[in-house]
Amino acid sequence: MADQKNEVAISFKVTKEERKRLRIAAIMQDATISELSKGFVFAGLDKMDKAASASNAKSKSTAKTTDA
């Protein structure tokens, strides 16, 4: 009973930028020192950054065309 975990589900709205930061924080927390030193985590973060910037650029370009 002493080892029992209490888990609480919390629901709240987050922006895309906040979600990205939370995802990065979760990856960094789970990563071991050896994984960090090998660069696995940073390679993954780089891919996420590129994907996020690509989707941001796409959403900005569509926003410009709809505004005009």
Give the pLDDT confidence of 27-67 residue by residue, as tens digits: 777 766 666 666 655 555 666 666 666 666 665 555 555 54
Distance CA 42, CA 31 (A): 10
Q: Are 41 and 31 in contact (CB under 8 A)?
A: yes
For residue 35, the model assigns a pLDDT of 62
Segment 5-30, tens digit of pLDDT: 777 776 667 788 888 887 877 777 77
Residues 6+ apart with CB under 8 A from 16: 52, 56
Does an H or E element contain 18, and which? helix 16-30
pTM of the predicted protein model: 0.28
